[in-house]
Amino acid sequence: MKVLLVEDEKTLAYEVEAFLKKAFYICDLAHTARQGLEKIECNLYDFILLDLGLPDKDGLVLLEQAKKHNPDAAYIILTARGNIEDRIKGLDLGADDYLPKPFSLLELQSRMQAISRRKSGMNSQLIPLGEFNVDIQKRIVSHQENEIELTRKEFDLLSYMLLHKNRVLTRLQLSEHIWGSFVDDDYDSNYIDVHIKNIRKKLGAYGPVEWLETVRGVGYKIKKS
């Protein structure tokens, strides 16, 4: 999943970035509201983590602007402010959650996972998928008592599509959100097709995978099962 962190405290920003990358997120950084808005206008993010005390603009103003460009992103406010009015205003403007500073990185990850499940209509970390179960936190796909070995990229691709179940995702979207932005005009979309083929082969050895649908000329989607 692709995350933008807008945080002017660079030590904290780099710490959060390192943690998220270790947890298999793709993370962009911005240290000012202007930098953040530039990235938001050019990219689609799954999460935008937003500090309120930015040097050039109040974070609440940036939140309002960001929602116009990335309405489907999940927004978490990071704030050292104790003012309850700011927190309420942020939620009223469309933020999904807020974390007071200092915060635990594990709590941040837990809240991000909870928001993902809530937005996708899932209430458990163990998600049924046809005859399979997917444990997002433990990164395990199982069929009955059998754990199925997927590569890191294969699991990232499957779990991202699962969190956007019933939504058609283009090959470019899948690439950007799982492996980062591709800047080359000659990007080879076959890269995604190979991973989908491998997922189908590995899971298909245990049970039917008709829920993984190819949308010809566009991309792929996981149908509601």
The DSSP secondary-structure symbol of 58 reads B
Please tell me whether residues 133 and 204 are part of one structural domain: yes
Please, where are the H alpha helices in 70-206? 84-92, 105-119, 152-163, 171-179, 190-204
Does residue 92 sit in the same domain as residue 138? Answer: no
**Do residues 150 and 51 share a domain?**
no
How many folded domains does the chain comprise? 2
For residue 205, the enclosing domain spans: 126-222
pLDDT of residue 172: 82
Residues 133 and 148 in one domain: yes
- Could you tell me the pTM of the whole model? 0.69
Closest among 24, 37, 44 to 138, alpha carbons compared: 24
Task: Provide the token pair at 102.
Answer: 């200092």
| 106 shares a domain with 15 | yes
Tens of pLDDT, residue by residue over 137-193, are 788 999 998 999 999 889 989 988 988 888 898 888 888 777 765 444 444 558 889
Q: To which H or E segment does residue 34 belong?
A: helix 33-42
Domain shared by 50 and 75, yes or no: yes
Residue that terminates a domain, selected from 119, 145, 169? 119
Mean pLDDT along residues 112-137: 80
183: Cβ–Cβ under 8 A, 6 or more apart, which residues?
none
Supply the pLDDT for residue 131.
93
- Calculate what percentage of the chain has a pLDDT beyond 70: 91
Does residue 91 sit in the same domain as residue 135? no
Same domain, 15 and 102: yes
Q: At what angle do helices 10-22 and 105-119 cross, to 10 degrees?
A: 60
- 59-108 pLDDT, tens digit per residue, is 999 999 999 998 889 999 998 876 778 778 888 888 999 888 888 999 99
Give the residue from 119, 147, 171 where a domain finishes: 119
| CATH number of the structural domain spanning residue 186 | 1.10.10.10
Please check whether residues 9 and 104 belong to one and the same domain: yes
- How far apart CA 4 and CA 9 sit, in angstroms, is 15
Give the closest residue to 134 by CA, choosing from 165, 107, 96, 112.
165
pLDDT per residue as tens digits for the range 1-31: 889 999 999 999 999 999 998 888 889 999 9
For range 119-136, the mean pLDDT = 79
